[in-house]
A and B are shown apart, each in its own frame.
Chain A
Amino acid sequence: MSVIQASPADAPTVAIPAIRVDNLCRHYRMGETLIRAVDGVSLEVRAGEFIALLGASGSGKSSVLNLLAGLDRPTAGSVIVLGRDLARLSREELARYRLHTVGMVFQSFNLIPSMTVAENVELPLRFAEVNRSERDGMTNTALARVGLQSRMHHRPSELSGGEQQRVALARALINRPQFLLADEPTGNLDSRTGTEIMNMVREFNQQLGMTVVMVTHERALAERYAERLIHLADGKLVSDEPNSRAVSTEPISTASEGSLA
């Protein structure tokens, strides 16, 4: 995993993008009508970048993110991640890609309600067939990173929205993936808690070198955290510009740096 964990400082190596999306299309056929959820999107993501996908509701943001996550297959075009075309991977290979290469967080947290916090975070390790003896330690480290060690035996329903999203973040990074794909991670949270979560995401980006692609419709949030803003409308890419206003130098704790790497 560490082989593909480039740091943002490696600017000259942009020649090989971490993600390369080429003329990506995702169409849905609803009877007679064809819905072009994603319609010819091309973009590149460098390793270590923090990107925000912006656009109105229904513009195709989630669809693009799901295609990047290997949860869905494109109707046309290609998604090449670290040199591998996701469209050509088998279902099994896609599952392994989701397990090891990407971590996902959602607007609605998507924790499993019957499992405790620790069990939710541990779940990807079970799919990865990590030994039982190593799992507890990894789960603890991940929970420590999001500051929820004390709640590990609680059920998700006993946690606040912000805490649940922190659990989801811990679960997303437990297998040390290179990419963090977030679909409106603050959409269900008040702005204070949202900021807390966003700080955490930036921490992952800067300290762990994770490449972040975040879907949001809050322009302010995107401008504060993302290095690049990509606008979608009706499934098409309208603009792709670097964000000079990103406050990447905000003082953050570096105490836990490298503890997961």
Chain B
Amino acid sequence: MKLPDLTELALRNLRESILRNSLTTVGISVGVASLVAMLSLGIGLQQLASRRLMKSGLFDTIVVTSRREPRNFGRDEDRNSPPSADSRLLDEPSRVELNRLPNVIEANPDIRFATELRYDDKPYLTTVAALPESSQSTDAFESIQGHFFTSDTAPEAILQKSFAAELLGRPHNTGANETSVSELAAPLLGKELIMSYAQRETSPNAPAPAVPGTASTLGSENAAASYSVVSRQQKLKIIGVVDLDPESMRGPTRGRVFIPLKLAESLHVMQPTDLRELSSSSGDQTLYSSVSVRVKDPAQIRATEDAIKKMGFNTFSILDATRSLQQFFAVLDLFLGIFGSLALAVASIGIVNTLVMAILERRREIGIMKAIGASDLDVKKLFFAEAGAMGVLGGFVGVALGWAIGHVINLGTNIYLRRQALPPEHFWSVPWWLVGAAILFSFVVSLVAGLYPAARAARLDPVQALRYE
């Protein structure tokens, strides 16, 4: 029998015992709905998590360091790669080269230094970090009080919340009675900070022995090398306060006071790197302790990292963190999928039941069809078609139902979130592939459920079936 005839006959047969078949189909729908709802929750949560992480600017960032200073950056890079011939200095030309790699949006030096800031004539020792303009779009600066830098060279500063509290002489307590960012920002915005720093000036004089010790204890007195260090001051206007935890982050946002990147570069602040590179020949070049590379496509981050490693640098990205996150969601989706499928499995037993009942009821009809020339295969196909039709119908209804359930849960949760004064979230998502896959899955499960009834119907002996009325 041809497919159109098959479908027509199958649908006709389904209509014949409409109540029973509808109930079976509803069973399948509920199964599909639970599967869709579960998986869309898993997918939604995953998307929410990766959206969050992506926005934090961590996922798409590779931190590049020179191999010549293996201890400078941290614990994550290859320690076993010796400073070989292919190791390179991280200077401006290499930054430009990094910038030109495929999949790279921008490569910015990480400038961070400890220095003294004066506010209200009182000195505060803190870490200043430079921010590229692109940081503005990251999650961290979404909730800024005040505004982002007016330009990349503006003498402006954004304060980290705890530092703002320190300037105001308030105790920084975390927890429920934490002072809000806006409260801290109000008295500070528009005020002036005076930053004292050590400027590095090239002087091609006698080389001096390298200064041992930890890099972070930088003072202008230590300056006695192929360049001289001059003490300078820079006025900064406070334009924003952000709620950032400086310890939780890597990359450019590890600081308590932020200034524009171009401004920071123009200041030529003495950095830890400078002390380590005393013996190097590139005394006239600014060396970066690290460069942050932002990539276009985080999925391609490994390839970009490899390209950078080939250039002779060490790299670090939290790709590994992403990977374990993906693993977590894969497991979560699997479990949600299994629980969702359970309902569908139960529903498929309903299909078996319905079709076996149909065989008993339609014994005579099957006998007639065989007597007038239907083959075993025709009968088998007809029962398959009925099972498949119930599967597809149940699949469509189920997807709609699952979508609705997820929507309602999402809505309900958002109402709850709003009550708790939290921003609404979209933690639930039904991608098109899930719609297609759910219907297909429902179809396949129904066909599998139809295997036994169809085989049984096909084996029916027509003489026996026609013998008794």
Say yes or no for B12: interface residue by CB 8 A criterion. Answer: yes
Structural contact, A98 and B371, CB atoms closer than 8 A: yes
Structural contact, A71 and B369, CB atoms closer than 8 A: no
Choose one: B368, B373, B463; the contact of A112 (CB below 8 Å).
Answer: B368
Interface residues of A in 48-104 (CB under 8 A from B): 66, 69, 71-72, 91-92, 95-96, 98-100, 103-104
Structural contact, B375 and A175, CB atoms closer than 8 A: no
The number of chain A residues with a CB under 8 A from chain B is 30
Choose one: B373, B462, B469; the contact of A99 (CB below 8 Å).
Answer: B373
CA of A103 to CA of B372, assembled, Å? 7
Interface residues of B in 441-469 (CB under 8 A from A): 462-463, 466, 469
Structural contact, B12 and A124, CB atoms closer than 8 A: no
**Contacts A96-B375, A175-B373; A112 near B9 (Cβ below 8 A):** no
The residues of A that contact B320 with a CB separation of less than 8 Å are none
CA of A77 to CA of B368, assembled, Å? 26
The residues of A that contact B9 with a CB separation of less than 8 Å are 126
Q: Which residue of the partner chain A has the closest CB to B17?
A: A114
Say yes or no for A132: interface residue by CB 8 A criterion. Answer: yes
Say yes or no for A5: interface residue by CB 8 A criterion. Answer: no
Q: Which residue of the partner chain B has the closest CB to A114?
A: B16
Choose one: B12, B370, B373, B462; the contact of A128 (CB below 8 Å).
Answer: B373
Structural contact, B372 and A104, CB atoms closer than 8 A: yes
Structural contact, A95 and B370, CB atoms closer than 8 A: yes
The number of chain B residues with a CB under 8 A from chain A is 26
The residues of B that contact A129 with a CB separation of less than 8 Å are 1-2
Q: Which residue of the partner chain A has the closest CB to B15?
A: A114
Structural contact, A95 and B376, CB atoms closer than 8 A: yes
The residues of B that contact A124 with a CB separation of less than 8 Å are 372-373
**Contacts A95-B374, A95-B375, A132-B4; A123 near B369 (Cβ below 8 A):** yes
Q: Which residue of the partner chain A has the closest CB to B464?
A: A72
The residues of A that contact B178 with a CB separation of less than 8 Å are none
Say yes or no for A110: interface residue by CB 8 A criterion. Answer: yes
Choose one: B365, B372, B378, B463; the contact of A72 (CB below 8 Å).
Answer: B463
Structural contact, A114 and B12, CB atoms closer than 8 A: yes
The residues of B that contact A95 with a CB separation of less than 8 Å are 370, 373-376, 378
Say yes or no for B5: interface residue by CB 8 A criterion. Answer: yes
**Contacts A71-B463, A95-B376, A112-B365; A127 near B371 (Cβ below 8 A):** no
Choose one: A69, A96, A115; the contact of B371 (CB below 8 Å).
Answer: A69
CA of A154 to CA of B2, assembled, Å? 25
CA of A110 to CA of B371, assembled, Å? 10
The residues of B that contact A179 with a CB separation of less than 8 Å are none
**Contacts A66-B463, A106-B466, A112-B365; A127 near B373 (Cβ below 8 A):** yes
Q: Which residue of the partner chain A has the closest CB to B16?
A: A114
Structural contact, B2 and A92, CB atoms closer than 8 A: no
CA of A92 to CA of B373, assembled, Å? 10
Say yes or no for B377: interface residue by CB 8 A criterion. Answer: yes
Q: Which residue of the partner chain A has the closest CB to B371?
A: A104
Q: Which residue of the partner chain A has the closest CB to B378?
A: A127
The residues of A that contact B365 with a CB separation of less than 8 Å are 112
Q: Which residue of the partner chain A has the closest CB to B365?
A: A112
The residues of A that contact B370 with a CB separation of less than 8 Å are 71, 95, 98
Structural contact, A91 and B375, CB atoms closer than 8 A: yes
Query: Smallest Cβ distance from B125 to chain A, in angstroms?
Result: 89
CA of A260 to CA of B377, assembled, Å? 29
Structural contact, B375 and A92, CB atoms closer than 8 A: yes
CA of A104 to CA of B372, assembled, Å? 7
Say yes or no for A243: interface residue by CB 8 A criterion. Answer: no
CA of A72 to CA of B369, assembled, Å? 15
The residues of A that contact B469 with a CB separation of less than 8 Å are 108
Q: Which residue of the partner chain A has the closest CB to B459?
A: A91
The residues of A that contact B12 with a CB separation of less than 8 Å are 114-115
Say yes or no for A171: interface residue by CB 8 A criterion. Answer: yes
Choose one: A92, A96, A98; the contact of B372 (CB below 8 Å).
Answer: A98
Q: Which residue of the partner chain A has the closest CB to B4?
A: A132
Return the 9 tightest CB-CB contacts between A and B, nearest first: A99-B373, A95-B375, A126-B5, A98-B373, A110-B368, A127-B373, A72-B463, A124-B372, A127-B374
- Give residues in B with beta carbon < 8 Å to A: 1-2, 4-5, 9, 12-13, 16, 364-365, 367-378, 462-463, 466, 469
Given contacts A95-B374, A171-B372, 5 further A-B contacts (CB under 8 A): A92-B376, A92-B377, A96-B373, A98-B372, A98-B373
Q: List 29 A-B contacts (CB under 8 A).
A: A71-B370, A71-B462, A72-B463, A91-B376, A92-B376, A95-B370, A95-B375, A96-B375, A98-B372, A99-B372, A99-B373, A99-B374, A100-B373, A103-B372, A104-B371, A104-B372, A106-B371, A110-B368, A110-B466, A114-B13, A123-B369, A123-B372, A124-B372, A126-B5, A127-B369, A127-B374, A127-B375, A129-B2, A132-B4
